[in-house]
Every structure is written in C-alpha cells, then in structure tokens.
Structure 1
C-alpha cells in the first residue's frame, strides 16, 4: 500500500511514522488535547507508542496515519488518520484527529477533512466514511455535522477511557452518493 500525500494551499498530510513524529512532541503535551480519546500521548514515550500502533496498522493495511502540516503558519499542527479500513466493504473511519490549540478555529480541520474525504471517495472509491466521537465532545460533533455527516446512532458505554470512565460513542457517516452534494455545498470555494 502506498501512502497518499494529500495537499492543498493550506495543509499537507504526509505519512506519520517514527521518523517524523517528534515534530509533534510539544503539541502532544498540551493539556486536555485528547481528553475525549482513549489514547495517551502526554509523554514522549506514550506518543511514540501511539505512533508505533498507527505504523503497525499501516503495515497491516488497516490504517493510514498522517502528520499535519499547516502551510499557512508553516508549522506542524497535529495528527489524523484513516482507520478501521475495510477494503472488502469499502468503508473506513476518519479520526484520531488532534491539532494544537493554536490551530483551533483556523479552518485547518475543514481543509484536512476535505482532502481526506475526497481521497476516500474519489481515489479509493469507497462507499462510506464514518466518524466515531465521544458523545460529550460537542466541538467535534458539531464539526462533523457541519461537513455533512449524519448521526447514525450512539454506541452506549462502549469505550474505556484513560481515567476509567466508560464513554458512549456517536457514530456519524457520509455515503458515497452524498459526497457530490456535500462537496458542492460544504466545500466549494472555501
């Protein structure tokens, strides 16, 4: 599997691996950056383990992890991933997304999501993209709703968090037959 290189005027998504993850060490230390995630990136060791898990998934063809570079600010901003890639059923998840607080509200996330959705639907020719979000994470839920994802249901108390809390997960989706309209109405001219 060849890693895609996704890029536009604003953002560049390159394969995240053990050769470049150190660009994210300072961002990963930000307080509560991934509060709603069951993962831990708070120490250099935890971040390396997080990246190693992503790399392992890449070699098993179940994930494609990206390091995010904000071309406007000329700085590394965080990480995102295609995950739970199901090649047979043409379904994947977009998630594991975290960007430094200085990049919040900048439009960077929307730029990344456009590139990822475009790749999933137009290059991979997948039938569906899903997003799984902690039901308490209203910011992320609103963000995927703004890009046209539909709430399909809630998995109740399905994920154990770092602090022992059992979260419920909102499942959102976009179907390939919805993509053209979403691309035209949400992403055109942004």
Structure 2
C-alpha cells in the first residue's frame, strides 16, 4: 500500500485510523445537527453507522485510508474523512467522505484535517496531486474546498445516481504538487488566526 494506515496528529485534531470502536462515538457525532439530512451528501444515519464503518474498513483492504476525527479541545470524535481512489502508480489520491458534527463546524477542525492529509500526501509520499469531489449543489463543501486553495478542474455531469434517483453532477477540484507550498502557507495562516 502506498498510503499506510497511521495516526496523523495536529494541534486541533487527531486523525485516527477508523475502527469498530468508533461506531458509537460517530453515532453521537452524526446526531449533532443531523448532517445526514443534507440530501446531496453521503452521510449515514445513526442506525446506518455500523454498516458505514464496516464498509470503510473493508475499503481499506483496497487502498482507502479512512479516519475518525478526534477534537483535541473536547477529546470527542467529531466526524470522518479519508483518502480514497488511491492511485499509487500515479501518486495521487482523492480526499473525501468528510462530514462533521455541528459542534466542529466553524472551528479549526476541517482546516487542520486537510492540512494533515495534504502534508502527508505531498511531504511524506511525494504525491503529484490531491483531488476533491463534491455534489454540484453542495455549495458549503465547494466553498470550503476553494478556501483550501484547490482549483476547479471541471464538472462530471450525470456522474452518479443518488439514493433519491436524481443524477449527481460532480464538481472536481485538485491541488497539484507545485501549488502545495502556497496552499500549506494559507492553511497554516488560517489556523494561526
């Protein structure tokens, strides 16, 4: 495996390799603000969390690296994120499956999660690119990805069929290796404020 499962530790969060022991804390996190009610996002309901975690752990055998996000301030698990569609020969990976409890929103949590994931990719693994994808209608996610410094590559129209039968237009963003130092400086600046 190109990306190994390992803990990533920052000032505000710790990314812990996802395990069955995270099911109950993630059920509590997903109940905070009910992010699952966003029709355009893939966020599990409380009663779906065991399956969600089992599927993520199974995907790890094929190269995905799923994490539970623990807040340093509270010690609580506040969400998940992961590397997925890892392309080792081309040294690139997608970052996604990210959702947070409401208590983590408008805090340093997401900024530092992305800093840790991107630094690991570009600085330890010599990645060429990191990619992000989100639903066209997920304006909050699109804005957050753009605030990171990612650039929009395009839109995959009718890319996926949603649970409600609608078609998802997927907006694709990336950060390439030559942009990393500027992106890193931007993220660190945000965290220092």
- TM-score (norm. length: structure 1): 0.92
Check conservation: 1:157, 1:166, Cα contact below 8 A.
yes
Question: Where has structure 1 moved over 6 Å in runs of 4 or more?
Answer: none
Count of residues paired in the alignment: 187
Separation in 1 of the partners of 2:58 and 2:92? 19
Query: Secondary structure of 2:163's partner?
Result: coil
Q: Larger deviation: 149-158 or 68-77?
A: 68-77
Match of 1:52 among 45, 50, 54: 54
Separation in 2 of the partners of 1:126 and 1:26? 34
Query: Secondary structure of 2:20's partner?
Result: coil
Find out whether 1:22 has 2:24 as its counterpart.
Answer: yes
Greater helix share, 1 or 2? 2
- TM-score (norm. length: structure 2): 0.90
Find out whether 1:79 has 2:80 as its counterpart.
Answer: yes
Find out whether 1:33 has 2:36 as its counterpart.
Answer: yes
- Please list, as runs of the form range in 1=range in 2, the aligned pairs for 1:90-129 lying within 5 A after superposition: 90-129=91-130
Deviations 1:67-105 (A, max 9, x none): 000011221101001000011111100000000011111
Separation in 2 of the partners of 1:64 and 1:14? 10
- How far residue 19 of structure 1 moved from its aligned partner, in angstroms, is 2.7
- How far residue 40 of structure 1 moved from its aligned partner, in angstroms, is 5.2
Check conservation: 1:85, 1:92, Cα contact below 8 A.
yes
Structure 2: unaligned runs, 5 residues or longer: none
The answer for the alignment partner of 1:11 in structure 2 is 13
Alpha carbons of structure 1 residues 8 and 43: separation in structure 2 relative to 1, 3 Å = closer
- How far residue 31 of structure 1 moved from its aligned partner, in angstroms, is 2.8
The answer for the alignment partner of 2:172 in structure 1 is 171
